[in-house]
A and B are shown apart, each in its own frame.
Chain A
Amino acid sequence: MLEEQVIRDALRYLGSKGEDPSDSELLKNVFDAYREVFCPRQVTATFRVKDHEPALTFEGCAVTLVGESIGRHFAGATEGIFSAFTLGVAFDRKVRELSLTRPSESVALNALGSAYAERKADEMLKKVREEKEAEGFKTNFRFCPGYGDLPITANVEIAAALGATKKIGLTVTEAGLLQPIKSIVGVTACVPAER
């Protein structure tokens, strides 16, 4: 079942004001027709923060995150949840195939993929966040390389620390771009609740 939020987001990506009810019906039809190419997979791991300055580092983990924005995101944090998510390569192939034969379905599927990936990654991460909150932490949102001044190349180190290629088939180019296309890598800060 496709959540309304996913439909709303996809419509927005496609330039729709959502005024024509048939638009969302069409998106639902496309999702139902190609749901087998939506193969969400996620891997997460939690690491204790080692140092906040001069860069953010973690214990038992070879990741160094540099920048003011990630520093602010992790202010007061003692742990970080690393997460990597992908919708899989079959999705990319279907968008490409449809672009040649049914282009309007291709753009619709592409927008649905973006919206679905965001939503599903949030949902899968939520379970881990809830576990940390049960342990007495406050958690914030998933901060992704490319946000603020955190370079997109940070994707390389985070994905490596998670073993994302081996575990979920996510790869990162030298420039930090994620493949398959509908993939998300990020870090979530865990701040002790009393702070």
Chain B
Amino acid sequence: MNEFLIFDGAMGTMLQAKGLPAGAFPETYNLTHPDVVLAVHKAYVEAGADVVTANTFGANPFKMKGMDVAEIITQGVRIAKASGARKVALDVSSHGALLEPNGSLSFDEAYENYAFIMKAGAKAGADLVLIETMSDLLETKCALLAAKENTDLPVYVTMTYMEDGRTFLGTDPVTATVTLCSLGADAVGVNCSLGARDLIPTVRKIAAYATCPVIVQPNAGLPRIENGKTVYDDTPEDFAAAMSEMVDLGVTILGGCCGTTPDYIRALKGLLRDKTPVVRDVKRHTSATSATRTVFLDEGVKVIGERLNPTGKKRLKAALIEGDTDYILREAIDQERAGADILDLNVGLPEIDETATLVRVMKEVSSTVSLPIQLDSSDKRALERACRLYCGKPIINSVNMKGESLDAIVPIAKKYGATLIGLCLGETMPKTHEERYAYASALVNELTARGIDKSDIVIDCLVLTIATDETQATETALAVKEVTEKLGVCTVLGVSNVSFGMPDRLKINAAFLSECLQAGLSAPILNPLVAEYAEVLKGKLLSLDTSSYFTFDQSGAVDIRGMVLCGAVGGIEEAVREALKTRDPIEIINGEFIPALDEIGAKFEKGEVFLPRLIAAAEVVKKGMDVMRAGGDENDGRPDVILATVKGDIHDIGKNIVKMLLRSYGFKVLDLGKDVPESEIVAAWERTHAPLIGLSALMTTTVPSMKTTIDALRAAGSTAKVAVGGAVLTEEYAKTVVADFYGKDARATVKIAELVIRKDGA
């Protein structure tokens, strides 16, 4: 940008000064007090603002239910245009609700609301869209997509950061900048947050990574209450002095936020008269982001965890088919703790709907670990949907030189700003390093010609097993070296493929990894929990941290029963393996696990031990049961219990405790999650015919959802018994919703399950 663009300052605080009550919608003034709104705009134009921001910040059908939001937006833009400003920005912000999976607002609902706003604003004549005061990167992405897909207007995006340099949801400025630039924002930056001086460190980071112009709109200092009024300490001169430093960092679009007035914009105008825009020299990195982290693949070796891929993994395959999200998430957490930088995610199984599963698992994983995700699929529909709903800049694994692959995958990567892995493969299988390099070179040319920036291309030189051709390891390593040196792009490899069909695979893999790292490999795809790789990566990987801050006295943990009673997780697996040599699994469960759980459960009921001890005992039993399951003791697919937190309620901690204890007693549990519509619970019962359904609600306001769910189940012909529980429930209340049982706590719910299911074994 070769000239500065000056935005206006605050609108809300200006209107409050003119009588708008706190908590009222300022946007209603567009209809009731248009002259007041116009006067504010005009004052900013007179002070020197090039752009005035229409009074549409909170004009969202989600927040302004029952109001004519389209008319409010239309009038807002019209009033702004009447001010005589050079340009008018349609002002857009958050819903004030958290998107899934952190909250309960769906991406699609948020998108519909944003699309409505964008269309109304564009139709009314806005010149650009300003998406501002954002905390949630996914919601910001949603708004940006809605703007780009429903208007032709430039889109400027600013987020708000706290004293710790992150948004309320944990996004840092580098991550936001990299992600939003990749998605095609026309300017990125920061607004609100703090005073201008305190924002300089944040702006420095944004300016270092933004590949588009940088916009800054700070508050007039930090707000504080004085005599019942909110006041801001920075003077227009303080404000302008700090903004001057930001101009030196390369900021070209400047304005004000809360507490600023036309005087601040006038001071800004005066400052910019003597300045010229600073041209920033920004390097385009090869990167991936999550909501809270950016990984640069071109800065040191990065490890891509491979364990979320069902190929050859029976337990993960079962978890994907059964919807056992907990197992999948533990795999993700273990890889993060072991030092992975990125997680590859592949859910491709013929038995499942890949699109629905990829999206569901991606959302769960990204809300649990902080690592960026590499979406591994050849299904165009699944990739498109996952890229759209992913919070951050994903990696797509992969595209190859076959025409259909390029046509399907490249537009998705381009639209969603993904980093794209190009696999050295086409109509023929490359065998030599020269053939691999030829494919890599062709991929870089083809992808850049199709609009993918070179920094967003990563090459997979294709690992083939040495079982059939022992030269393959060296050929691949040579290709890595050539691609790195001649093409200047990052590389990935699926390391363990090299030893497929061979004995002693870990040693072969480790040696191959070493060779490829020396050749310049950027990111090996491997199992980060394997100790042999850590040595090769020279301390890059940490060993898996299994220590607990919560260690009970374990002096009694001399046998299986003692281990359960002491919560001694450490030795249980070995003890169960040893016991299985001489005893049946059912004998261990009925003779050791259940009596121990009953004993500690009885102590919990009497208040002799507290809940963490009961849970620790359940944890030990679960680990022991996992050992037995690995030995072939598989359950059939039918759950014993369906659990759900009812519609409208977002609390699930209590329900999760119940789930844990039920599972430790050997019950098979299908957990539907929180805020579950009654139709979903009915459908789950119709699909499984589980004999017991447990419903949870924490708030009095959501207890009625229990009643409607139970009514719906009965109307659908369900024969399942229904148990209800939750903080506000009592036995009496349970009767009013016509439940079969009231589960006072997790222990009581286990007793109900034993009564209903009368298990005669495991």
Chain A residues in the interface with B (C-beta under 8 A): 11, 14-17, 19-20, 22-23, 26, 29-30, 32-33, 39, 44-48, 60-63, 88-90, 92-93, 95-97, 99-108, 110-111, 128, 146, 151-153, 157-158, 160-163, 165-169, 171-177, 179, 181
Contacts and interface: CB of A to CB of B under 8 A. Distances in A.
Given A45-B225, A103-B619, A166 B160 contact: yes
A89 to B, nearest CB: 6
Given A171-B96, A173-B104, A152 B699 contact: yes
B23 A46 contact: no
B22 A89 contact: no
B61 interface: no
Contacts of B750: none
Interface stretch (B113-121, B475-483, B547-555): B547-555
Contacts of A167: 223
A107 B553 contact: no
A25 to B, nearest CB: 10
Nearest to B58: A160
B699 A89 contact: no
Given A160-B23, A168-B168, A173-B104, A100 B330 contact: yes
A29 B656 CA distance: 23
Contact of B656 (A99, A160, A177): A99
Contact of B619 (A26, A32, A95, A104): A104
A15 B615 CA distance: 12
Contacts of A60: 16, 21-22
Interface in B86-106: 94, 96-98, 102-104
Contacts of B648: 173, 175, 177
A178 to B, nearest CB: 9
Nearest to B21: A62
Given A100-B333, A104-B619, A165-B96, A15 B103 contact: no
Given A104-B567, A171-B103, A17 B23 contact: no
A184 to B, nearest CB: 14
B56 interface: no
B169 interface: yes
Contact of A97 (B333, B612, B613, B701): B333
Contact of B604 (A15, A23, A92, A162): A15
Contacts of B702: 175, 177
Interface in B589-639: 604, 607-613, 615-616, 618-619
Nearest 7 pairs of A and B residues by beta carbon: A169-B168, A161-B23, A16-B610, A62-B24, A104-B616, A33-B549, A104-B612
A177 B649 contact: yes
A61 B604 contact: no
Contacts of A30: 549-550
Interface of B: 16, 21-24, 94, 96-98, 102-104, 133, 135, 160, 164, 167-170, 192, 223, 225, 228, 230, 326, 329-330, 333-334, 367-369, 548-550, 552-553, 567, 604, 607-613, 615-616, 618-619, 648-651, 653, 656-657, 660, 699-702, 745
Contacts of B333: 97, 100-101
A29 B653 contact: no
Given A167-B223, A172-B96, 20 more contacts: A15-B745, A20-B609, A29-B549, A45-B230, A63-B23, A89-B98, A93-B368, A100-B330, A101-B330, A103-B616, A105-B548, A107-B657, A110-B653, A111-B611, A146-B699, A160-B23, A161-B22, A163-B22, A173-B97, A175-B648
A166 B133 contact: yes
Among A30, A146, A157, A166, find the residue whose CB has the most chain B CB atoms closer than 10 A: A166
Among A14, A46, A158, find the residue whose CB has the most chain B CB atoms closer than 10 A: A14
A174 B702 CA distance: 12
A111 B651 CA distance: 14
Contact of B650 (A15, A152, A166, A177): A177
A175 B97 CA distance: 12
B524 to A, nearest CB: 25
Given A14-B610, A104-B567, A168-B168, A173 B103 contact: yes
A176 B550 CA distance: 35
Contacts of A172: 96-97
A44 B22 CA distance: 12
Among B23, B168, B553, B649, find the residue whose CB has the most chain A CB atoms closer than 10 A: B23
Given A22-B553, A63-B23, A14 B612 contact: yes
B550 A104 contact: yes
7 contacts: A15-B745, A96-B368, A105-B548, A162-B23, A177-B702, A179-B103, A181-B650
A173 B657 contact: no
Among A19, A96, A110, find the residue whose CB has the most chain B CB atoms closer than 10 A: A96
Contact of A14 (B611, B650, B651): B611
B612 A93 contact: no
A110 to B, nearest CB: 5
Nearest to B705: A175
A14 B612 CA distance: 7
Contacts of B700: 146, 152
Given A26-B550, A89-B169, A101-B330, A181 B611 contact: no
A72 B160 CA distance: 40
A179 B225 CA distance: 25
Contact of A90 (B170, B368, B657, B660): B170
B549 A107 contact: no
A29 B547 CA distance: 13
A22 B552 contact: yes
B612 A173 contact: no
A100 B610 CA distance: 20
